[in-house]
């Protein structure tokens, strides 16, 4: 599926005269985040406030960026488990931390899987291509509550 560049969507929004809804670009994927949040809410049976979300995978692209920015709800605790080479861009991480600080949320990035998934309410995996995926196994033996 071809994706529009973020700059193209922003240019369209400046000139459209109507709201432009970003379904997916190379940098952001807000519609998938909304679907994920609705699923987590339905599975938890309660509000997402204070949710402990753990995200494992490639944080450089649309999903990693979008999860960092949107999971700064009041009191939520998001951990992004990702090798250093697959971390989101520094400007996105800095923006996420600023938003989290203002809302009382906590965002952590780590490359330690056991530390990263500990205490999870929900986990989300991300991988753009098989060759970019971590080969480290995450199974029940790695999860502790």
Residue 142 has pLDDT above 50, yes or no: no
Task: Specify the pLDDT at position 67.
Answer: 85
User: What are 109-139's pLDDT values in tens digits?
Assistant: 999 999 999 999 888 888 755 444 444 444 4
DSSP state of 47: -
User: What are 37-92's pLDDT values in tens digits?
Assistant: 888 888 877 777 778 889 898 888 888 888 888 876 667 888 999 998 999 999 99
Instruction: Evaluate if pTM is beyond 0.75.
Output: no
Where do the domains of the chain lie, and which CATH numbers do they carry?
21-129 (3.40.50.1370)
Give every CB contact of residue 54 below 8 A, 6+ residues apart in sequence.
78, 79, 81, 116, 117, 120, 122, 123, 124
């Amino acid at each position: 599926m071809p994706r529009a560049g973020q700059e193209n969507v922003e240019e369209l929004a400046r000139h459209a005269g109507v709201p432009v809804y970003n379904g997916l670009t190379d940098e952001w994927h807000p519609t998938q985040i909304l679907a994920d949040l609705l699923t987590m809410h339905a599975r938890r049976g309660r509000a997402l406030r204070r949710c402990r979300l753990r995200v494992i995978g490639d944080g450089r692209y649309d999903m990693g960026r979008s999860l960092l920015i949107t999971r700064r709800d009041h009191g939520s605790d998001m951990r992004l488990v990702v090798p250093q080479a697959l971390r989101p861009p520094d400007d996105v991480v800095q923006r996420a931390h600023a938003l989290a600080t203002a809302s009382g949320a906590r965002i952590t990035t780590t490359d330690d899987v056991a530390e990263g998934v500990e205490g999870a309410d929900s986990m989300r995996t991300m991988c753009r291509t098989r060759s970019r995926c971590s080969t480290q196994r995450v199974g029940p033996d790695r999860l502790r509550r």
